[in-house]
Amino acid sequence: MNNSSNLPGLGRAVLAILLCGALAQSASAAIPVGNSNVQIGGFFSQGYLYDNASNFPTEDKGGTFDFREMAFNVSTTYGAHLRVGAQAFAQRFGNIGEDKVVLDWAVADYNFSSAFGVRLGRVKYPKGLYGEALDLDIVRPFIFLPNAVYNPVLRDFASAVNGASIYGSVNAGKSSFDYKLFYGKIPMSPDKGVAEFYNNFGAYSNAAGGVGALKMDYAAGGQLVWNTPISGLKAVYSRSWFSNLQSDGPFIAYPAANMHSNIPKFTWDTISAEYATGNWTFASEWQRTGGTISYGAVPFTPIIVSAVGWDAWYVSAARRINDKLELGAYYADLKPRYPGGGGSAANRQNDLDASIRYDVSEHLTCKLEIHWIDGNYQFFNTPRISNPTLPNSSTVIAVKTTFSF
């Protein structure tokens, strides 16, 4: 923790809000690019997180300023059909990310027509309404999208694939359909947030550092968007799957032995709808994941096969009050498809959120939100996120200031 750890939790939240005002005084205009076809953009955000009862998702429940994101992107066009660009990204989410700069996306995009285009490189992963817009903080009032569908611990893992996608839009009378298909690799490592799900599994020795190796063959899937005849209303279906997810690490009962797991196919199905009318935006999504995992530490344990996966849904509403102020709220529900032990709190996560966004200027946005969470499903007790005793409920306060250009 930093030197602010001696401040009371709410006092630190107030301090974080005051940082908005300080940054507002120093905010500058967007970086000019002249009349060229080169576009430069990016953002920097600094926030504060406080949880009154657990360490999710930070190291210490006393609150932390280890919550920030930054990105820089550049793109250009060649002729009427080809666009190339890339974005560097870094984040600090408790002990996840550690401000390491990574290649967030990098594409060569050629559109033959409105009905057919091809992207090659590190392409965005289309999942649900907002899977390709995780870093577009300026388009919504929420600091966190609903955790049930957009878990921020997976941000560094499931935002893009190294491969290719095809896309297009087809008119159908008074409506239209947009489609995307993709295939590629998602690099996995114990440094990424996905490792927390494996370390939370309980089969790896946290004392020995948790899971030691992660890999998968490929990720593939697609998305279909129906832009309905009703202005502002769209419906989305997304389906994707991961092939042959494998892990290895020290067995919790005997760390010198290797615990191996494999999920031949893990699927994601998401049904979504969004309606924007006037100053209101309403959204709802339902998601189901699933697969079969086999694991064991041969010859110390037999191979065990079991089903894994979860169901999730949320409803949200946001209203733009004026040019400066926007309010938002959502309720999200997350639960395992195959409940286990640990009591009812371990088999649910219900999240009620209220958010306030204030636009200080065109380039500077401040947000405050509160989460009232019932249950602790997909809370973590791992080497990076220690929670020896998980609470049945918790309150999370988040403050975030974003400067974009």
pTM, two decimals, is 0.90
Q: Give 117's strand partners.
A: 111, 167
Where does 125-232 show beta strands of DSSP type E? 160-172, 175-185, 213-215, 218-227
Q: Measured between alpha carbons, how far is residue 211 from residues 151, 198, 202, 215, 268 in Å?
A: 20, 7, 10, 11, 23
pLDDT level of residue 55 (50, 70, 90 thresholds): confident
**For residue range 275-306, what is the model confidence (pLDDT) as tens digits?**
999 999 999 999 999 999 999 999 999 999 99
**For residue range 331-372, what is the model confidence (pLDDT) as tens digits?**
999 999 999 877 899 999 999 999 999 999 999 999 999 999
Query: What pLDDT is recorded for position 25?
Result: 40
Task: Evaluate if residue 184 carries a pLDDT over 50.
Answer: yes
**For residue range 257-278, what is the model confidence (pLDDT) as tens digits?**
999 999 999 999 999 999 999 9
Q: Residue 336 is which amino acid?
A: P
Query: What pLDDT is recorded for position 29?
Result: 38
Q: How far apart are CA 106 and CA 63, in angstroms?
A: 35
Q: How far apart are CA 69 and CA 90, in angstroms?
A: 6
Query: What pLDDT is recorded for position 59?
Result: 67
Task: Evaluate if residue 73 carries a pLDDT over 50.
Answer: yes
Query: What pLDDT is recorded for position 342?
Result: 76
For the chain, domains (ranges, CATH) are 3-404 (2.40.160.10)
**For residue range 194-238, what is the model confidence (pLDDT) as tens digits?**
999 999 988 999 889 999 999 999 999 999 999 999 999 999 999
CA–centroid distance for 58 within its chain: 16
Q: Measured between alpha carbons, how far is residue 318 from residues 31, 149, 331, 354, 373 in Å?
A: 30, 18, 12, 10, 20
> In 3D, which of 258, 314, 263 has the Cα closest to residue 286?
314
Q: How far apart are CA 88 and CA 83, in angstroms?
A: 17
Regarding predicted confidence, which is higher, 28 or 93? 93
Q: Measured between alpha carbons, how far is residue 52 from residues 157, 302, 372, 375 in Å?
A: 28, 41, 10, 14
- Mean pLDDT (the chain) is 90
Q: How far apart are CA 190 and CA 187, in angstroms?
A: 11
pLDDT level of residue 61 (50, 70, 90 thresholds): low
Q: Residue 181 is which amino acid?
A: L
Task: Evaluate if residue 67 carries a pLDDT over 60.
Answer: yes
Query: What pLDDT is recorded for position 56?
Result: 74
**For residue range 233-246, what is the model confidence (pLDDT) as tens digits?**
999 999 999 999 99
